[in-house]
Amino acid sequence: MRPKIAAGNWKMNGTAAALSELDALTRALPENPPQIVICPPSPLLFRATDAVHGSPIQIGAQDCHAEASGAYTGDISAPMVADSGASHVILGHSERREMHRETDADVQAKTRAAWTSGLTAIICIGESDAQREAGETLDVIGAQLDGSLPEGVTAENTVIAYEPIWAIGTGKVPSLEQIAEVHDFIRNRLATRFGAEIGNALPLLYGGSVKASNATEIFAVENVDGALVGGASLKADDFAPIVAALARA
């Protein structure tokens, strides 16, 4: 059985006061919750890991550098993330790919760095609106998978998150058929490259305007093992129903 994972990406939101939402989320969890990973901004990592101590919630970072140390002002390394007590790191998010010009090769190098520090990489892939309209979705997804994933992928060190760029924070959600098509494609691509045992064991998350009102139907799609949630993860009242829907799936 693949793990069910509810991951929350706080992006550039939240100060220390926002950590009270972690306590509220803990108190709102169902009896048998899925795996939960909250990824706050890097200045909050140490305090966040302290805040969730003893709870089912794990903490992740939103990025890491490919190098372990050096003259990279403003960056955060994988050893620093691990030192905070975090267990995961988001890599290759579309906002990093677009705004910081990160390539698939960059994501692959960062993934290796994350693994070296014992972190689980949540690797993001997804197509733009123009690529979707041009019928290029599967070609784009395939190329990102091939370029972003190093050899050595396992179900313990890697999670894949499919986030169609045009659905992130827009309120637009792909049809269930579109989500199923991409997730089935990813599953088959992974099994072909890494073998059926690994390919079928890797958790696949969907991300893009996931909320309480649509979570149940999305989680019912085959090969959707959870979600990477943006804005709805900032408040426990919004995120807890998504977690509960995944627990029931």
CA nearest to 108, candidates 161, 162, 46, 152: 152
Question: Residue 151 is encoded by which pair of tokens?
Answer: 């050899």
Q: What is the pLDDT of residues 143-170, one digit of tens each?
A: 999 999 999 999 999 999 999 999 888 8
Q: What is the pLDDT of residue 1?
A: 85
Listed in sequence order, the residues at least 6 apart from 114 whose beta carbon sits closer than 8 Å to its beta carbon are 64, 78, 81, 89, 91, 120, 121, 157
Please state, for a pLDDT cut of 70, what percent of the chain lies above it: 100
CA pair distance 128, 4, nearest whole angstrom: 26
Residue 11 has pLDDT above 90, yes or no: yes
CA pair distance 44, 50, nearest whole angstrom: 10
With 0.75 as the threshold, say if the pTM is over it. yes
Q: What is the DSSP letter of 229?
A: E
Q: Which of the four pLDDT bands, split at 50, 70 and 90, describes residue 85?
A: very high
Q: Cα 53–28–19 angle (5° rounding)?
A: 50
Q: What is the pLDDT of residue 145?
A: 98
Question: Residue 130 is encoded by which pair of tokens?
Answer: 């123009």
CA nearest to 78, candidates 94, 60, 52: 60
Q: Which of the four pLDDT bands, split at 50, 70 and 90, describes residue 178?
A: very high
Q: What is the pLDDT of residues 218-233, one digit of tens each?
A: 999 999 999 999 999 9
Superfamily designation of domain 5-248: Aldolase class I (3.20.20.70)
Mean pLDDT of the chain: 97
- Would residue 163 show up in a list of annotated catalytic residues for this protein? yes
- Would residue 88 show up in a list of annotated catalytic residues for this protein? no
Instruction: Enumerate the β-bridge partners of residue 204.
Output: 160
Set 88, 93, 95, 102: catalytic member: 93
CA nearest to 57, candidates 39, 75, 77: 39
Residue 173 has pLDDT above 90, yes or no: no
